[in-house]
Structure 1
Amino acid sequence: MAQRFSRIGVLDSGIGGLSVLRYIHRMLPNHPTLYFADQAHLPYGPRPAAETRAYVTAITRFLLERGAAVIVLACNAASAASLYDLRRQHPDIPFVGMEPAVKPAAAATQTGVIGVLTTRTTANGALYRRTLERHAGRARVLTQIAPELVTIAESGSPNTPENRTIIRRYVEPLVEAGADQIVLACTHFPFLSETIQEIAGTNVTLIDPAPAVARQVARVWPKGLMPSSAPNTYYTSGDPASFQMMLKRLIGVEAHAGYAHPG
């Protein structure tokens, strides 16, 4: 078994979870993180929930073996497919998942219409249905499944004419239907927020749940457990060199990324 440290494990299908990781680093700068990008199986969104669950279960084991004291499913699709099962399997480990930020959107809307940009696994999951039942209230919620946006975020080039056309195809119908709040219900989507905002216009507010997730990580860190002095660590099941470039481009981190393929 690998050497154990007390640190925060973070997983995603790719670079999307970095949008959450950057807030964890800001809020908990003395808590080392271990990030796993499962780029070999990107994207999770269109996959059957059982398949995603198998990948996430293997990565969770990988993170636990390396001392994760808290695990963040920094991926809406992974949360939808796996969060409840993982909490049952590992009752002593705090798991923090991504819940679409419908509650703040419903509280803020002036038009009574909320748009949710998401992926199929998230939209079809019990977690999303429960979130709508608990928090949508009287707001009309428009669920827009946008799998191509994950690929665009991974490309790092949202502003090519072709990619802007694709983003516009998903965003404009929400705005035309009256949405004044758009929930970014996939951790990849905040990396497209500048382009999405330009298309949606200044009367629309984009809601990113990442800051709230970082606050929850701080709340559930085990009391009395000292974080280790280990460095922040990165793994991918894809191409490490490419992932290192995205790390620097997206969150300004220069670090080595290792290769691993759990399971």
Structure 2
Amino acid sequence: MGNRAPIGVFDSGLGGLAVLRSMREAMASEDFIYMADSAYAPYGDRSPEWILHRSAAICEFLLQEGAKALVVACNTATTVAVRALRERFSPVPIVAIEPAVKPAAALTRSGVVGVMATSRTIGSAQFAHLREQYGRGLSILGQACPGLADLVEAGRFDDDELHQQVAHYVEPLIARGADTLVLGCTHYTFLRPIIQSVGGPAVTIVDPAIAVANEVVRRLREAQLLSDARGRGHTMFFTSGRPVRVGAVLERLWPPGGVVYRAPGLAGGD
């Protein structure tokens, strides 16, 4: 495997584009393969067994496409599957996103942190561990947000229902004293302006996408896999959903020119 091989990235849908964007900014010459599992998004209400099996299948696909490293840009997949994925695909570098509880704990002034995520992430052992490890002396409030990722995946950014749901999930956290909100699902990055508007200007929003990009750089440098290519790298997009539908949302979230292909062997009935 050469250092000019692409980096494989996957999420349950298009939310992981927030992570991809940060990686593209940090590693302009790298090539990327992005897999949006849109036919099965979101993962939040899926069983752990299903998430593990599906995540492994997507990793296999990305490696078959020549990926030199893998990025799990889905908090739910991280909480359920990343340990098993690292064991199965070692020595391939695997970097995974997780709710940014640690930096949020350092930023809060009120001592109350709200974490917005899927039901599966909020109920996971990993989130409980993060809360115990970094939340001593603080109140770490987990807020499951069913439905939000679906609205992002459908591209319904101007929908009244989306604004109502954001308010429904954010306002109780603010009412309980939260001054720091963690975006514990990559889809929520694209709702940041709405979340900020509901929470108010005094609320700090923590998004782990930049930290993931920095960790990918560190791991690739450590493995001597950083690309030595000149010029801007390319990005290929695959989906298990309908490329036309996914492409229409991609146009709103990514610079022009992105073409979405149907992932062979992974396509669903979306």
For Structure 1 versus Structure 2, the TM-score category normalised by the shorter chain is: over 0.9
Alpha-carbon displacement from aligned partner over 1:150-169 (angstroms, at most 9, x marks no partner):
01211222332222111111
Q: Cα distance 1:240–1:5, how it changes in 2: closer, same or farther (>3 A)?
A: farther
What is the Cα deviation at residue 147 of structure 1?
A: 1.7
Structure-2 separation of matches of 1:216 and 1:50: 27
* Matched residue, 1:256: 259
> Relative to 1, partners in 2 of residues 1:176 and 1:248: Cα closer, same or farther, differing over 3 Å?
same
1:148 corresponding residue in structure 2: 147
Tell me the residue number matched to 1:223.
Answer: 223
Is the 8 Å Cα contact of residues 30 and 234 (structure 2) preserved in structure 1?
Answer: no
2:7 partner SS: strand
Q: In the alignment, does 2:28 pair up with 1:29?
A: yes
Q: What amino acid maps onto 1:156 in structure 2?
A: G
Task: Answer yes or no: is the 8 Å Cα contact 2:4–2:226 preserved in 1.
Answer: no
* 3-state SS in 1 of match to 2:68: strand
Q: Deviations over 1:216-257 (max 9, x none)?
A: 010111533363867311100001122222222112242211
1:103 is the counterpart of 2:106: no
1:115 is paired with a residue of what secondary structure? strand
Asked if structure 2 preserves the Cα contact closer than 8 Å seen for 1:32 and 1:232, the reply is yes
Distance (whole Å) between structure 1 residues aligned to residue 28 and residue 226 of structure 2:
13
Alpha-carbon distance in structure 1 between the residues aligned to 2:74 and 2:256: 20
Q: Secondary structure at the match of 1:68?
A: coil
1-structure distance, mates of 2:226, 2:113: 41
**Aligned residue number for residue 181 of structure 1:** 180
State the distance in 2 between where 1:126 and 1:179 align: 23
Letter in 1 for 2:241: G
Amino acid at match of 1:79: T
- Counterpart of 1:29, as a letter, is A
SS of structure 2 residue aligned to 1:225:
coil
Q: Following the alignment from structure 1 to structure 2, what is the Cα–Cα distance between the partners of residues 244 and 228? A: 30
Q: Give TM-score scaled by structure 2 length.
A: 0.91
Q: Give the Å deviation of 1:115.
A: 0.3
Instruction: Tell me how far 1:98 sits from its aligned partner.
Output: 1.2
Amino acid at match of 2:123: N
Structure 1 gap segments, 5+ residues each: none
Residues in 2 aligned to 1:208 and 1:188: alpha-carbon distance in whole angstroms: 11
C-alpha distance after superposition, 1:173-211 (max 9, x if no partner): 000000000000000000011111111111111110000
Structure 2 gap ranges (5+): none
Per-residue deviation, residues 34-74 of structure 1 (Å, max 9, x unmatched): 00000111110111111111111100000011111110100
Deviating more after overlay: 195-204 vs 237-246: 237-246
Q: 1:228 to 1:81 in 2, by over 3 A?
A: farther
SS in 1 for 2:171: helix
Distance 2:153 2:74 in 1: 14
8 Å CA contact 2:241, 2:262 repeated in 1: yes
Correspondences of 1:38-77 after superposition (within 5 Å): 38-77=37-76
C-alpha RMSD of the superposition: 1.7
AA paired with 1:216?
A: E
Q: Please state if 1:239 is matched with 2:242.
A: yes
For residues 158 and 172 of structure 1, the distance between their equivalents in structure 2, rounded to whole angstroms, comes to 19
Structure 2 match to 1:85: 84
In the TM superposition, what is the alpha-carbon distance from 1:260 to its structure 2 partner?
1.3
Q: Which residue matches 1:19?
A: 18
Cα gap change, 1:26/1:145 in structure 2, threshold over 3 Å: closer, same or farther?
same
Contact kept, 8 Å, 1:241 with 1:257, in 2: the verdict is yes
Q: Percent identity?
A: 38
Q: Which amino acid aligns with 1:237?
A: S
Alpha-carbon contact 2:217-2:226 (below 8 Å) kept: no
Q: Secondary structure, in 3 states, of the residue corresponding to 1:235?
A: strand
Larger displacement relative to structure 2 (218-227 or 74-83): 218-227
